[in-house]
Amino acid sequence: MTKPTIALLGTGLMGAPMAANLCRAGYPLRVWNRTRTKAEPLAAQGAQVCDSAAEAVAGVDIVISMMADGPTTAAVQAEPDLRAGLKAGALWIEMASVKPEEARAQAADLAKLGLRHLDAPVSGGTKGAEGAKLAIMVGGEAEVFAEAEPVLSAMGRPVHVGPSGSGELSKLANQSIVAITIAAVAEAMLLLEKGGANPAAVRDALKGGFADSTILQQHGQRMTEGNFVPGGLTKFQVKDLDNVLAEAAGLGLTLPTTHDVNERFRHLCDAMDGGDMDHSALYLELKQRNGLV
């Protein structure tokens, strides 16, 4: 059976390895990025590098959007040339972290053009993207998810979580858990370091225990080694937590821990120029609080 043709829009830290995995799985792929040089290395993987989003999506079966945020996707989606080239019956999959309401607005807009839509944000960072081990939370119609599942499985582990917007809502919950856990791990690593224990040995001792997590093992190591080369950007963590708090407010909820951690990430971005660091750099904000940097 012929594999569907795919266009992937946005080949940044996450989009590029996701595109590479689609190529390795044998999907005919076109890629586009505003900065073309970020997309060009994918030509060696077999992807067709396009000069415009409209060129990339023209006539393809599936469009995957992995751009910076909802407004960026909306602006690209509104381009007349792009809309004219979309294939009726095609599927648009929003895989970036956008607001649930933005995902639902995308779906409604594309439906006018005869397209289907899924919102399928991911978690797992660049390591998950590179290893095709992303957690993929998918909102939309179950029948459409079943059709897209083989494609999504080339990039990770997709799970259908509910109707349109549910994938993005799940990602917001994920980001709240991630941010709060980073804060907890930072406090633990600093306590170990200042108390004289070996943080690496303690992380090893905790493997498989109730406190173990990917964040403890990966970001705990980053913190103690001072390695904040970005996998997940701090400025995107703030964006996601802003979205969490906005969604909570719309539901009449107060999320105090998420709010407090977001203020700390915002301080890291604005006062410490850490927006382009990995989000594990919250460790530096903690050290500053304690007069250690």
Give the model's pLDDT for residue 293. Answer: 84
Strand partners, 9: 32, 65
**Among candidates 126, 109, 162, 137, which has minimal Cα distance to 14?**
126
Residue 177 host element (H or E): helix 166-195
* Mean pLDDT within 249-273: 97
Max CA distance (Å), the chain: 64
Residues known to be catalytic = 171
- 254 contact partners, CB below 8 Å, separation of at least 6: 248
Answer whether 153's CB lies under 8 Å from 130's CB: no
Exposed e or buried b per residue across 124-153, where buried means at least 16 C-beta atoms within 10 angstroms of its C-beta: bbbebbbebebbbbbbbeeebbebbeebbe
* Mean pLDDT within 79-102: 96
Give residue-wise pLDDT tens across range 156-188: 999 999 999 999 999 999 999 999 999 999 999
Instruction: Enter the tokens of residue 262.
Output: 């977001």
Rounded distance between C-alpha atoms, residue 47 and residue 49, angstroms: 6
Q: Taking 80 as the threshold, does the pLDDT of residue 213 lie above it?
A: yes
- 212 contact partners, CB below 8 Å, separation of at least 6: 206
In terms of Cβ atoms closer than 10 Å to its own Cβ (0-12, 13-18, 19+), residue 1 is exposed
Can you say how many angstroms the Cα of residue 78 is from the centroid of all Cα atoms in its chain?
Answer: 22
- pLDDT above 70 covers a percentage of the chain that reads 100
